[in-house]
Amino acid sequence: MQSLLHFLQQPWPWYVAGPLIGLTVPALLLLGNKSFGISSSLRHVCAACLPANVPFFRYDWKREAWNLYFTGGILLGGLLAAALLTSPGPAPVHPALQAELAAYGITRTGGLLPAELFNWRELLTLRGFLLMGVGGFFIGFGTRYAGGCTSGHAITGISTLQWPSVVATLCFMAGGFLMAHLILPLILSL
């Protein structure tokens, strides 16, 4: 049992993890003509829980209940992995990235997120509000504007040869590069 836990705690190589993720698309299509995507789950939850008379939430969400189970499984799997498979040591961070972050005053990089950036006190600063508040808004807006999230477009849309998904994925990637290389350094220097 201990060797199995040790095996599961290690990062999986791309040639194992990639095909496993990729095989979810044909499996969902073959098992029920379903398409993979996560962002629609929030809409289903809102349609189920909010009795408001909002036209966007008036549809037969029960037809898409499988998506809620799928997303719940992802959440449960993440919780189980965090409880059972967490590595006891700090998260490895490349020394070059540690040096770059230290230049911005971010030195506690052993956790999953830098503690100097992601905490309740930081949310009340301009830097924290831009990262968490404005960044969260843009993620939600972009997902809605693009008609889906990165997983839906990049995994399902491209594999089913949908041109809008190719365009959306290219825009996601361009936005990520722009943010990481131009905008984030400006925000971190605040």
The per-residue pLDDT for range 106-137, each reduced to its tens digit, is 888 777 788 888 889 998 999 999 999 999 99
Per-residue pLDDT at 46: 85
Distance CA 182, CA 30 (A): 42
More confident position, 117 or 86: 117
Per-residue pLDDT at 186: 93
pLDDT tops 80 at residue 162? yes
Per-residue pLDDT at 137: 93
Per-residue pLDDT at 158: 87
More confident position, 181 or 41: 181
Please report, as a single letter, which amino acid is at residue 155.
Answer: I
φ, ψ of residue 38 to 5 degrees: the values are -110, -35
Per-residue pLDDT at 134: 94
Distance CA 114, CA 59 (A): 41
pLDDT tops 90 at residue 177? yes
* DSSP letter (8 states) at residue 157: I
* Mean pLDDT confidence for 51-71: 84
Q: Which residues contact 26 (CB under 8 A, 6 or more apart)?
A: none
Per-residue pLDDT at 171: 92
